[in-house]
Amino acid sequence: MEAYKNARELLISFEKEQYQAFAGFPGDREKSLWPAPFADLSWLLGEIKQFALESSDLLVDVLLEDGFLVPTVEQLETLGCDTCNTSSPIQPRVPQNFLRFWLPLLKMLNSPSFVHLLLEKLFVELKLLTKEQNNHRTFYLSAWISEVICCNSNKFEYHFETKAQKKNRMKDRIFVNRIQLRWQQLLSACLDAPCISTPHLLQLILDDMEHPLPLETRQRLLQLCSIYTQTAHSEYDPSPKQKQQPIYTLESLQEKLQHSWSHGKPWRSTADSERSESSQEYKWADIQAEKAKVLRGSPWQVCVDKVLWKNYPLGKVPGQSDDPSCLMVENYSTMTVFDQPVEMESSTARSIPGVSAAVRSADGLLWNHSDVNKLKSGLQLF
């Protein structure tokens, strides 16, 4: 009990310091950046870090209580956050101001062991809410899980952002360097805590696994998860054929069986055809994985997203910035083209039999050899 009281006092003191910093910081609350920690806050963070070394389990338990990582309505109003957090319960994200409120503490505790423990406790708390309905608490527990996993991801759309965009994105991350998570444990914990956000969290885990599951297994897992949680599954359907399939019920299976008998086709033939189709999908997944393995370490990668490539001109990819500087490579060498030969246009036109060539008149200024040499001396090849 004494350690529990100390943990609450330390976290409450941290909140008081952050609220004072927020109240004294001018500008728009939603767009402003948080100031650097004060001397008192730096000392307080050191005390919390020392406590975490001794009792990290207890510290995380207190963090997940209402009033800390799960805010009250009054706390959200004080920070200028939207209190209507059920606007996107399927894909929850922590409000930006509330995330920045806790970033100094979470960045200080961002060791791999702490991240593992935090994710494990978040899923345990989410599992406890399967019997009692608490949409507010479910939203923020799922949102923190999403924030932690997104810090560890390296998605395709991040490859074409500018340096300024990358800097702003990294500023709001709990940790920057990728860590090795216990993916199988996280996958089991996610499936054991079903809620409206489970398909989204499951998708994040499946996309970020070091050794991804076969494509067919991922698709079926997401389908079953969406059916169980009664959420829309349209964004996870890989093909129009699967979109036409109804939700499996006992009645639909009986109708399918009667339909196969009425057409004189045994049930086994239908199963065999589905098995052959799934084997083809599995082979396709292996081919894609082999391509991705070959390109590992290079600036290129295989795009598995559903993209209408006809909408993109040759030489441009989805997510690419219009800023030409994004096409510059990190390491390059230069060479001058001063000594490169330049073909000058012949002043005499080629004569074609039967056609009289018109004589070109010098309407404007023409470049001479010295002008061309000056242009050549200023050009560089990258």
Report if residue 18 sits inside a domain.
yes
Amino acid (1-letter code) at residue 202:
L
Residue 267 lies in a domain: no
Confidence class for position 201, pLDDT limits 50, 70, 90: very high
pLDDT higher for 143 or 35?
143
Of 21, 136, 134, 137, which Cα lies nearest the Cα of 79?
21
Taking only the tens place, the pLDDT of each residue in 249-272 is: 667 667 766 766 655 444 444 444
**Residue 376 included in any domain:** no
pTM recorded for the entire structure: 0.58
Residue 125, domain member (yes or no) = yes
The three-state secondary structure class of 167 is: helix
Between the alpha carbon of residue 234 and those of residues 42, 237, 240, 307, 311, the distances in Å are: 47, 5, 10, 15, 22
Across the chain, mean pLDDT equals 76
| Inter-residue contact 302 to 292 (CB < 8 Å) | yes
- CA–CA gap between residue 39 and residue 21 (Å, rounded): 12
The secondary structure element, H or E, covering residue 381 is strand 380-381
The whole domain housing 222 covers: 2-240+277-309
Q: Is residue 144 part of a domain?
A: yes
Q: Residue 88: which of 193, 230, 197 has the closest Cα? A: 197
Q: Is residue 265 part of a domain?
A: no
Q: How many domains does the chain have?
A: 1
Higher-pLDDT residue of 348 and 129 is 129
The span from the CA of 84 to the CA of 254, in Å, is 44
In a domain, 326, yes or no: no
Q: Do the Cβ atoms of 64 and 125 come closer than 8 Å?
A: yes
What's the rounded Cα separation, in Å, for the pair 57 and 262? 62
The verdict on residue 69 lying in a domain is yes
